[in-house]
Amino acid sequence: MHSFDVLVIGGGHAGVEAACGAARMGARTALVSFDLGAIGAMSCNPAIGGLGKGHLVREVDALDGVICRAADAGAIHYRMLNRSKGSAVWGPRVQADRVLFKAEVQRIVKAQANLTLIAGEAAALRLESGRVAGLELADGTALDAPRVILCTGTFLGGTLFRGEERFTGGRIGENSAQRLAKQLRGADLPMARLKTGTPPRIDGRTIDWASLPEQASDDESWTMSALTERRANPQVFCAITRTTEAAHDAIRANLHRSPLFSGAIDAAGPRYCPSIEDKIHRFGDRDGHQVFLEPEGLNTHLVYPNGISTSLPVDVQHDMVRAMAGLSKAEIVEPGYAVEYDHIDPRALTPDLQLRAIPGLYCAGQINGTTGYEEAAAQGLIAGLNAAAGETDRQAPFLDRANSYIAVMIDDLTLQGVSEPYRMLTSRAEYRLRLRANNASTRLTKLGVEAGCVSDERSKWFEHREAARTVLAPLFAQKLHSKDLAEADLPVRRDGGEKPISEWLRHDGVEFADLMPWVDTELAEALYANTDLADEMAEDAAYEPYLARQEAELRDLRASENLALAGDFPFGEVPGLSSEMIERLTSASPPTLAAAGRVPGVTPAALSALLVYARRWQTAA
């Protein structure tokens, strides 16, 4: 069997979601990986989720993806970041046992219908008249497929740096990577270089845990996946330490030996996740930086010191680590290093993550200039669903900036490109108040069911939940009088008048539990049986005035989304566009007028010129 609808290359987070997503859509799919045993490996930090990233993986879960279920299976520490802020910016995050996480990913992948796993080295794309026709493996095997998804991480020209040491890196063997890389370079795709890094791993048995403050797992019961009923594993705590002046001195004395400062690496790294030498250099006035010591699993002594990613020489890493509280005797098991790699300018991609230059070829994950498991998983899912939709009679779910972080990310990537590794942040989402990590199912699962990428199990769960929503609705509409609330010692004014429960919940100090005396027993029971849903509905009510104000904005947005600037739109012929505007618009190829407005540097006047010309062009076509 050498013929498929969709071929996925790579078994990381992007590859797994792409392969499973395509298979769920009913496409005959194969996942090709050099080492099938490495599918689902966490290559860097052992954590899933976080600010913005938690939103992404919850959305992947809402469309029945793999990552959240695997995260719950491996989770040994749950933490809701930003808990003190509004719920729209809460970031669910877990630390996962690498072994348990990988085992669950492999279990799901193997159980997935329509999905074949092929162990092999991808050697070259097979192209026919400019289109993808399949893949050739290093052993000469030819695989047929009209759609191929590249989820190959940093294999394109990856170099590892550690002090004066250099290694050529990449997860695919050197020769095959070169042939594939040569093909991509031959396609004249715009490429650029980025940098990322990882900290040294420490032997937990050499850490003086007792001397350090602990950070315990949240004692609540929330989980990453909507389908996980309860937390599976014993929960471990992290410890917090800090860098010290002595550690900073050790770094400063050796800055010239860091490839970041010696000039060996000149690619841009992530501003929001800088290496420790970068932090010392840029924030010289600070006497210390926080470091989280995160256990990598239940059955390993490895500890991940979050916050000291570095490419300094091994001896300096050693001195720096030992200068920190609780780490005076710490042993480094695996030193940290920096990776510099090539990525494709994602503006060469269409919104379904297909390369404009090579129809049928999709790219997802780090190859598109992003960083992080979560960003990779979300892109993999979108590439998988769209590639499958191209070969089946189904349609991928419609995602836009108003309904998902996934669409925000893909829109940002394909229109704006990247100048540093792209990481999701809540501030990237304009409609953040409606895009909460805890309402991802409400936003997306229905779209997933309609697209056909959601399992029966999740469909049933969702139906059940929507039924509960109908039951709970009257509770929010029930009116209570301020006098009654005030008499029950709730912090409201006596003369506030009669208001629905949805409005009372907006008052500081008024919680569901406070209002139960006035609520019908049956409704109260329904509430306690569906607390997650009830919380979500209460948040909707709280944000309601703001959401209502956004409606006009969304109408305008959708109207200009409807004005298509199709692939062959002649930006160069629009009268009055400066050559700079033409260059920016042509390289981003915005598919709609609304998207054109988000291309960086495009002026209001240029947009108006586009609008006028696009109308004429549309009528003429």
Question: At its nearest, how many Å lie between other proteins and the CB of residue 399?
Answer: 21
Query: Residue 484 is encoded by which pair of tokens?
Result: 């009654």
Interacting span for other proteins (CB under 8 A) from 279-287, 349-357, 457-465, 582-590? 279-287
Dist CA 410 CA 408 (whole Å): 6
Sites for other proteins among residues 31-70 (CB under 8 A) = 51-52
Dist CA 88 CA 86 (whole Å): 6
Is residue 549 near other proteins by the rule CB under 8 A? yes
Query: Which residue's CB is nearer to other proteins, number 398 or number 546?
Result: 546
Tell me the β-bridge partners of 188: none
Question: At its nearest, how many Å lie between other proteins and the CB of residue 509?
Answer: 13
Is residue 562 near other proteins by the rule CB under 8 A? no
Is residue 585 near other proteins by the rule CB under 8 A? no
In sequence order, which ranges of 400-530 are alpha helices (DSSP H)?
405-416, 440-451, 456-477, 482-487, 501-504, 512-515, 521-529
Query: Which residue's CB is nearer to other proteins, number 248 or number 343?
Result: 248
- Contact (CB, 8 A) for 325 and 178: no
CB within 8 A of 121, min separation 6: which ones?
34, 137, 138, 139, 172, 173, 176
Is residue 82 near other proteins by the rule CB under 8 A? yes
Is residue 618 near other proteins by the rule CB under 8 A? no
Query: Which residue's CB is nearer to other proteins, number 253 or number 612?
Result: 612
Tell me the β-bridge partners of 142: 136
Sort 221 into a burial class: Cβ within 10 Å, 0-12 / 13-18 / 19+.
exposed
Is residue 216 near other proteins by the rule CB under 8 A? no
Is residue 578 near other proteins by the rule CB under 8 A? yes
Complete DSSP assignment for 504-518: HTTSTT--HHHHGGG
Is residue 281 near other proteins by the rule CB under 8 A? no
The residue from 559, 562, 572, 618 that contacts other proteins (CB under 8 A) is 559
Q: Is 591 left (phi over 0), alpha (psi -120 to 50) or beta?
A: alpha
Strands (E), 259-402: 290-295, 302-306, 332-334, 337-344, 361-363
Is residue 248 near other proteins by the rule CB under 8 A? no
Interacting span for other proteins (CB under 8 A) from 352-360, 375-383, 403-411, 552-560? 552-560
Query: Which residue's CB is nearer to other proteins, number 481 or number 598?
Result: 598
Query: Which residue's CB is nearer to other proteins, number 178 or number 560?
Result: 560
Interacting span for other proteins (CB under 8 A) from 184-192, 285-293, 349-357, 483-491? 285-293
Look up residue 568 and give its DSSP letter: T
Question: At its nearest, how many Å lie between other proteins and the CB of residue 77?
Answer: 14
How many H helices and E strands in the chain? 21, 23
Is residue 553 near other proteins by the rule CB under 8 A? yes
Is residue 604 near other proteins by the rule CB under 8 A? yes
Is residue 81 near other proteins by the rule CB under 8 A? yes
Question: At its nearest, how many Å lie between other proteins and the CB of residue 343?
Answer: 23
Query: Residue 42 is encoded by which pair of tokens?
Result: 């966490």
Is residue 77 near other proteins by the rule CB under 8 A? no
Characterize 326-357 residue by residue with b for buried, 16 or more Cβ atoms within 10 angstroms of its Cβ, and e for exposed.
Answer: bbeebbbeebbbbbbbbbbbbbbbbbbbbbee
Is residue 606 near other proteins by the rule CB under 8 A? yes
Interacting span for other proteins (CB under 8 A) from 70-78, 195-203, 483-491, 603-611? 603-611
Interacting span for other proteins (CB under 8 A) from 381-389, 474-482, 564-572, 608-616? 608-616
The residue from 272, 334, 487, 511 that contacts other proteins (CB under 8 A) is 272
Is residue 426 near other proteins by the rule CB under 8 A? yes
Look up residue 216 and give its DSSP letter: P
* Cα distances (Å, whole numbers) of residue 283 to 253, 259, 276, 287, 379: 16, 19, 10, 9, 34
Complete DSSP assignment for 37-65: GGTT---S-SEEE-TTHHHHHHHHHHTT-
Rounded to 5 degrees, φ, ψ at 240 are -115, 130
Is residue 507 near other proteins by the rule CB under 8 A? no
Among 324, 293, 418, CA closest to 365: 418
- Contact (CB, 8 A) for 193 and 264: no
Question: At its nearest, how many Å lie between other proteins and the CB of residue 123?
Answer: 42
Which SS3 state, helix, strand or coil, does residue 119 take? strand
The residue from 183, 236, 607, 617 that contacts other proteins (CB under 8 A) is 607
Is residue 597 near other proteins by the rule CB under 8 A? yes
The amino acid occupying position 205 is R
Sites for other proteins among residues 317-376 (CB under 8 A) = none
Query: Which residue's CB is nearer to other proteins, number 517 or number 576?
Result: 576
The residue from 24, 28, 195, 289 that contacts other proteins (CB under 8 A) is 289
Is residue 167 near other proteins by the rule CB under 8 A? no
The residue from 279, 343, 347, 458 that contacts other proteins (CB under 8 A) is 279
Is residue 577 near other proteins by the rule CB under 8 A? yes
By CB under 8 A, how many residues form the interface with other proteins?
47
Question: At its nearest, how many Å lie between other proteins and the CB of residue 433?
Answer: 6
Is residue 564 near other proteins by the rule CB under 8 A? no
Among 16, 72, 19, CA closest to 49: 72
Interface residues toward other proteins, by CB under 8 A: 51-52, 81-82, 84-86, 88-89, 91, 272, 279, 283, 286, 289-290, 425-427, 430, 432-433, 546, 549, 553, 556, 559-560, 573, 575-578, 581, 597, 603-609, 611-613, 615-616
